[in-house]
Amino acid sequence: MRETPNADLPVPRSVAVIMDGNGRWARSRGLERIRGHERGIDAVRRTVEECARLGVEALTLYAFSEENWSRPAREIKLLMRLLERFLVDERPTLMDNNVRLLHSGRRDRLSTRVLERLDESIAMTAANTGTRLALAISYGGRQELADAARRIAEAVLAGELAPEDIDVATVARHLYHPELPDPDLLIRTAGELRVSNFLLWQISYAEIHVCDVCWPDFQIEHLHEAFRTFGRRVRKFGTVVP
Ligand code: IPE
Ligand code: IPE
Ligand code: MG
């Protein structure tokens, strides 16, 4: 936790967000679900800008889960189109705020078009030194651990690693982005009390904050409230705190 431009606001080093409730936001207004996803982009921009301003080191946003591939084809198509547009339109936001973009997740089911836009934005922002923004797209926590296990097994087969040397640090090194600090704070919007296969390894000691508003309604004040709640938590990491 550090002093921030917002006087007493505690700022976690690493923040992860399950951006949930876009569909409900839209349906409650009699709109198509995709309208909620569209409006969700404004909330992404606000959140990225504010985290960058406050000096958050790493921000991981859950944009599309491995399980989301089982949604209706039309919703997936529109979401992917939106994602492509987002990856191009938000480049000025990333550059103006010195944000470096990363991708967390599997690439195999993403279209060439999405991958190209993603890779261009990652390359364009590679030298930025501020907040690292990891977009979790086609991401699953179990899949990430299975991928890590496969790569560890390959290293063993290649004779680079002995099974008895595999420990917690070995697994951590084989995650998608081992360089990112584990989230200190996990925020979920729209009130659900579950992790939905997000960062299962990394959130071991994250503080969890569930916010009732749907993601398109998530404002800077909600982010600040999450940070303030975080600042009041006593983090024990399994030890005894006097
Ligand atoms: C979160 O909103 C965005 C994605 C999962 C892509 P939802 O689409 O899950 O919205 P609800 O939960 O149905 O309201
Ligand atoms: C989690 O939300 C995935 C994202 C926010 C991208 P879901 O809406 O898919 O999760 P469940 O189905 O409610 O658990
Ligand atoms: Mg949802």
Q: Is 192 left (phi over 0), alpha (psi -120 to 50) or beta?
A: beta
pLDDT surpasses 70 at 1: no
Report which ligand 2 atom has the smallest distance to the Cα of 20: 5
pLDDT per position as a tens digit, 24-35:
999 999 999 999
pLDDT surpasses 80 at 3: no
Provide φ and ψ at 66, rounded to 5°: -55, -40
pLDDT surpasses 70 at 132: yes
Q: Is 216 in the pocket of ligand 1 (CB under 6 A)?
A: no
Provide φ and ψ at 64, rounded to 5°: -160, 120
pLDDT surpasses 70 at 138: yes
Q: What gap in Å lies between CA 51 and CA 98, rounded to an integer?
A: 11
Report which ligand 2 atom has the smallest distance to the Cα of 68: 9
User: What are the sequence ranges of the domains in the chain?
Assistant: 14-140+182-232
CATH architecture of 14-140+182-232: 3-Layer(aba) Sandwich (3.40)
**Is the separation of the CB atoms in 150 and 173 below 8 Å?**
no
Give just the sign of the alpha carbon dihedral 89, 95, 97, 98.
positive
What is the distance of C-alpha 80 from the center of its chain? 17
Between 112-124 and 73-89, two packed helices, what is the crossing angle to 10 degrees?
20
* Residue of 18, 19, 20, 38 best suited for mutating to test ligand 1, as the one with most atoms within 8 Å of CB: 20
Tell me whether residue 182 is one of the annotated catalytic residues. Answer: no
Q: What gap in Å lies between CA 69 and CA 72, rounded to an integer?
A: 8
Report the percentage of the chain scoring pLDDT > 70. 98
Give just the sign of the alpha carbon dihedral 187, 188, 191, 197.
negative
Tell me whether residue 68 is one of the annotated catalytic residues. Answer: yes
Report the percentage of the chain scoring pLDDT > 90. 96
Question: What's the token pair of residue 175?
Answer: 């995650």
Question: What's the token pair of residue 213?
Answer: 């508003």
pLDDT per position as a tens digit, 20-68:
999 999 999 999 999 999 999 999 999 999 999 999 999 999 999 999 9
* 135 burial level (CB within 10 Å; 0-12, 13-18, 19+): buried
Which residues are CB-contacts of 159 (< 8 A; sequence separation ≥ 6)? none
pLDDT given at position 5: 58
Q: How far is the CA of 180 from the centre of ligand 3 (A)?
A: 25
pLDDT given at position 7: 76
